[in-house]
Amino acid sequence: MSSSKLTQQQAPFRVALIGGRKTGKTTLCASLAKCLIARSHGFSPHMIARFTDATGLDQLEALFALKFNAPNTLFRAQSTAFVRKIKIGIDFTSSKWTFFKRPAHHLSGYYAIEIDDLRDDFDLFGQFVTSNANLETADGQNPLTQFEDSLIKANALIICQPAGQKLAPSESTGFIRLMSDIATGRYGSFDTIIIAFTKYERLFLKDGVKAFQHAIKPDTILTTMRDTILNDHALETGFRALNCHQADSPHLYAMPVSSFGFLRHNGAPNFDKLSGQPICVLEKAIEQARSENPLEEAKAKQKVAGFSVPLQKKDITETQPHPAKHWLPFLTADPFLTAISGIPSQFMIPFGEFLSALDHGLPLEQWRKTA
């Protein structure tokens, strides 16, 4: 898909979401709608993407309620299927915007998206690699067959790995094998592969109200990715395998994301260490679906690390407060918007450039300036 222009698409755009156990895959999907509504993504503020698919938005709302509001037992009871299929629609309203001092990009059109949220992939894949196990799901399906079918049909791939964490011992073998198979084209070709370092907010629990200010710095993002990769041999081996240099290789990016995010009013991590749950989620009035982005009516804005937020009280009503009044999901829409458009956000870094800088001790000056 061209990175300079989107054209109207007939068939659904398919995204496969993979990661180990409890790496934040489903939570990433659940906060997607909230991130768009709050405009808390890393793209130009002139890019307008919104949901016009009521059914798809309802599906995300239900998923959001399960992940952020319901007891864990309830969530587990409804998550037994190996592949969770999420069908949504995103409308890129006609707009032109500049990015990285490139010519203006034109985005327009409605896109049907199918997201395959795959369950505990690395651990499962490792079981097949090491024991050639013949596993079946409750409905008699072979999970490896379901897994491979989802990857083969996907246009783009999002790989989730918690920032600052290692793979579980049971996942390492499967992860390296899976990354190698993806790199060699066993599952076909992908337009884009995005490595999403999830649960980013948990690295800044000791920073208090300075957490958000620290988290958005390019040096912090680079250090986080470097340390996460270098502290786990399996992660480094697998991710390096993805970094192909062939002409038709996918666009490969890495970035931090956080579904729990940060508290808007003071920038502290939105995470309760005792409960393991977010401190703040959106109010009920904010969770109601709206066809128009609420920021369009905001008259006074303040620029904060690429995010626009209303300043004046008259821009916020009691019945319809601004979505980002309390809680800021951190960049969770970016992987999906980049997968669809082919255009990276300002918080994404080309993975090949990152590895080259890592190996040669060179600074990423061009990326630093844009982020």
Look at residue 108 in the predicted model and tell me its pLDDT.
Answer: 82
User: Encoding tokens for residue 55?
Assistant: 């059914």
Please tell me what DSSP assigns to residue 275: T
Look at residue 164 in the predicted model and tell me its pLDDT.
Answer: 93
Residues 6+ apart with CB under 8 A from 289: 51, 54, 57, 58, 61
Mean pLDDT per 10-residue interval, the chain, length 371 residues: 46 88 89 84 80 84 78 51 82 74 76 83 56 52 77 93 90 88 89 94 90 87 90 92 75 92 83 79 42 36 34 40 62 92 86 79 55 41
Residues 6+ apart with CB under 8 A from 95: 46, 47, 48, 106, 107, 108
Q: How crowded is the C-beta side of 266, counted as CA atoms within 13 Å? A: 8
Look at residue 231 in the predicted model and tell me its pLDDT.
Answer: 92
Q: Which domains does the chain have, with CATH numbers?
A: 13-370 (3.40.50.300)
Pairing of strands 49-51, 83-97: antiparallel
| pTM (two decimals) | 0.81
Q: What residue has token string 């958005």?
A: 216
Residue 223: closest CA among 295, 164, 144: 164
Residues 6+ apart with CB under 8 A from 318: none
Residue 200: closest CA among 253, 252, 270, 264: 270
Look at residue 101 in the predicted model and tell me its pLDDT.
Answer: 63
3-state secondary structure of 315: helix
Residue 187: closest CA among 53, 14, 35: 14
What's the Cα-to-Cα distance from 323 to each of 6, 196, 241, 289, 347, rounded to whole Å? 28, 24, 40, 11, 21
Q: Are 340 and 293 in contact (CB under 8 A)?
A: no
